[in-house]
Amino acid sequence: MNYYVETLIMFVLMLQVLKIGFAEFEGRQARKTSNIRYFMNYANQYEYKKQPSIIFVTVVCYTMVSYETIFSTMWFLELLGFVAAGVIGNTLAQVLYHYYVHYRFKNDIKEAIVIKKEVDKAIHEKGDQLMQQSLPEYDAHEVTKAYLQEDKHVAIVSVDGGEFTSQYDSLPPITYSVELNPTQAKDKLESKGIKVTSLTQQGKMPFKDEKIDVIINELANYDKFEMYRVLKPNGYLIVDQVGSENYKEIINMFVPFRIKGQWDKESCQRTLKDIGFDLINGFEDIGRIRFDSLAALISFVKSISPERVEKYEQFINFYGEALKRIKEKGFYELTTHRFLVIAQKKNL
């Protein structure tokens, strides 16, 4: 019995020591990564959190140290005592963890509270917010005009409800708009004589083989084999796309463990060349957008991803880090990345 009592005491003490160790490690990691959400959890009073896994851990630990015959009456009685001690010990460990973090990292918690208030204020700030953006290296409309002769059959693939297509001064008489949102596009384009359509239910281009002279793909996902299929021999595919560096600061903050890939002018050219296109020209632009206030940054984020503003507490770490940079440097900077590739289908 002495052995059993000593084991119980050691087990409960071990839970407390481990919790302290985790509190120190996780607190330091949170400080290192500016994890405001972590510290905000300890700005309030302690709340008990159920941890069913402690019962499993307790059963495993007891099974490893018990001298009693397994499944005997005494074994079951001692197991119940061990589980009860484990649950109580775990509750005490949670309390110890909470107040240890609250005391050990009290300055970090105070800083997190201040940042949270400043983010709250910026979220609800009204008025026009200014930003500075570098001039782009190319204009997609100007580059593509040279390929839009009157006798050509043109298809413009986009996802903006016809906005990009509507900005052309003139287009050939036979121009199709292949839109993700055809209803919105019809309101903008049909009065200009542009035929609005969309992909088929199978995700295919709505044209017969070798029907189109020029395809312009504006920021839309596309099937390169479908583009090849519907283009006439010597037809042009013009791809204007967002690169993998675009808004990388936002993406890295919101999705810190994402699988990062390389998508740029060279990789696009390579994939098109592999399936039978000749490369005619290519442009690439890596620019910058600067915001001198958190409110300006939040206004911009809202324009591209409203849910990250509406549910901003989930992304408080990003906004807190952005606020720190603005205070340190006077601005927060985002990378922009666009590229345009012009390829011609080989006449085999």
pLDDT digits (tens, 9 = 90+) for 208-252: 999 999 999 999 999 999 999 999 999 999 999 999 999 988 877
Residue 259 has pLDDT above 70, yes or no: no
Q: Which structure tokens are listed for 104?
A: 């050990």
Interacting residues of 113 by C-beta distance below 8 A, sequence separation 6+? 40, 43
Rounded average pLDDT over 51-76: 86
Residue 197 has pLDDT above 60, yes or no: yes
Residue pair 241/219 in contact (Cβ under 8 Å)? The answer is yes
Closest by alpha carbon to 39, among 323, 316, 332?
316
Residue 275 has pLDDT above 90, yes or no: yes
Residue pair 236/216 in contact (Cβ under 8 Å)? The answer is no
Residue pair 238/222 in contact (Cβ under 8 Å)? The answer is no
Residue 255 has pLDDT above 70, yes or no: no
Closest by alpha carbon to 227, among 289, 178, 193?
178
Name beta bridge partners: 285.
Answer: 338
Burial class of residue 302 in the structure, from the number of CB atoms within 10 Å of its CB (0-12 exposed, 13-18 middle, 19+ buried): middle
Taking only the tens place, the pLDDT of each residue in 100-150 is 999 999 999 999 999 999 998 888 886 666 789 999 999 999 999 999 999
Q: Higher-confidence residue: 157 or 46?
A: 157
Phi, psi (rounded to 5 degrees) for 202: -90, 5
Ranges for all domains in the chain classified under CATH 3.40.50.150: 131-345
The H or E element containing residue 76 is helix 73-104
How sure is the predictor about 94, in pLDDT bands with cuts at 50, 70 and 90? very high
Describe the crossing of helices 316-329 and 294-304 by its angle, rounded to 10 degrees: 140
Handedness of CA 199, 205, 211, 217 (dihedral sign): positive
How sure is the predictor about 98, in pLDDT bands with cuts at 50, 70 and 90? very high
Residue 53 has pLDDT above 90, yes or no: no
How sure is the predictor about 51, in pLDDT bands with cuts at 50, 70 and 90? confident
Closest by alpha carbon to 172, among 195, 151, 145?
151
How sure is the predictor about 65, in pLDDT bands with cuts at 50, 70 and 90? confident
Secondary structure (DSSP) of 261-302: ---SHHHHHHHHHHTTEEEEEEEEEEEEEEESSHHHHHHHHH
Residue 258 has pLDDT above 60, yes or no: no
Residue 261 has pLDDT above 70, yes or no: no
Residue 69 has pLDDT above 60, yes or no: yes
CATH of the domain spanning 131-345: 3.40.50.150
Residue 256 has pLDDT above 70, yes or no: no
Distances (CA, A) of 273 to 13, 230, 236, 277: 66, 17, 13, 5
- pTM of the full structure: 0.75
Rounded average pLDDT over 44-66: 85
